[in-house]
Amino acid sequence: VIDQIRFVKTDLCVAENCVNVSKDQEIVLNLAARVTGIEYNRTHQAEMFEHNMLLQQLPLRAAHEVGVKRFIQVSTACIYPHDAIVPTPESEGTRGTPEPTNEGYGWSKRMGERLAEYYAQETDMEIGIVRPFNAYGPRDYYDVKTSHVIPALIKKVLDGDDPVVVWGSGNQTRVFVHAKDFAHGIKLLAEKYPYSDPVNVGHDDEISIKDLLAKILELTGLKRNVYYDTSMPEGYPRRAADTTKLKKVTGGFVPSISVEEGLA
């Protein structure tokens, strides 16, 4: 398979580029997104909304124009409201508004899901919708201001920050799905559930940010003081996936790589 992979570096905010990379493809998995961390998201809501709308709208249109048979729209857990039921079922994705610190990004992904539903209704394309919960893994983007929590904390620890500053109390919890598990999950959903009915992909094990940082320090063998800045937003108090539908439609798939294994 590796020998048959072709890498193309292009800007998918340009319609012509989307057409060019979609030609002669039977299936398109759209993972393109402008993704950053809580600090950047909350101060660049317009940019996050506009950029991510383009990255959903243009690939969908291009896929339809060139005759792609099956399309998977990758959404996000950030569409869920701040007071969502935890573990969170897919039905919560249309209630209320996205969490305020991720509002622009969250609304763009809600709109992307709705657009995918319309394309499924009005065209011959088979379209699936996937909602990942905090994917991480090799070749992530390591920048304190714009990356997600795992690479941001690793960057702070390895750069020698002392104290390591963490926004919020550190008691906020998340589930993290390793890139290998996510790839397996999206492959199964593309094969078995190409319907415009969103499906969560997340790990069943919930962990606090405080415990996550402790694991990073343990694995690196480094000692750092930690300062929890409770004057800063911490996002969702809890965020965990209800994976009932994922297990049902894939025949029992569950992400299996633990945070400890994934970080190591």
* Residues 151-209: tens digit of each pLDDT: 999 999 999 999 999 999 999 999 999 999 999 999 999 999 999 999 999 999 999 99
The confidence score (pLDDT) of residue 136 equals 96
Least confident of 47-51, 89-93, 230-234: 230-234
Alpha-carbon distance 199 to 186, whole Å?
10
Element (H, E) at 20: helix 15-22
The confidence score (pLDDT) of residue 241 equals 97
> Mean pLDDT, to the nearest integer, of 23-34?
97
> Mean pLDDT, to the nearest integer, of 254-260?
95
Instruction: Flag whether pLDDT at 146 surpasses 90.
Output: no
- Amino acid 180 reads K
Phi/psi at 257 (5° precision) = -80, 115
Alpha-carbon distance 245 to 253, whole Å?
10
Question: Tokens 């969103």 map to which residue?
Answer: 198
The confidence score (pLDDT) of residue 87 equals 98
DSSP state of 73: E
> Mean pLDDT, to the nearest integer, of 101-113?
97
> Mean pLDDT, to the nearest integer, of 29-54?
95
Instruction: Flag whether pLDDT at 2 surpasses 80.
Output: no
Alpha-carbon distance 91 to 43, whole Å?
28
The confidence score (pLDDT) of residue 255 equals 95
Alpha-carbon distance 48 to 100, whole Å?
13
Instruction: Assign 235 a pLDDT band (cuts: 50, 70, 90).
Output: confident
pLDDT, one tens digit per residue, over 48-81 is 999 999 999 999 999 999 999 999 999 999 999 9
Domain 13-263 indexed as CATH 3.40.50.720: yes
Instruction: Flag whether pLDDT at 143 surpasses 90.
Output: no
Please indicate whether residue 228 is annotated as part of the active site. no
**Given 80, 105, 193, 228, the catalytic residue:** 105
The confidence score (pLDDT) of residue 174 equals 96
> Mean pLDDT, to the nearest integer, of 147-152?
92
Instruction: Assign 141 a pLDDT band (cuts: 50, 70, 90).
Output: confident
DSSP state of 67: T
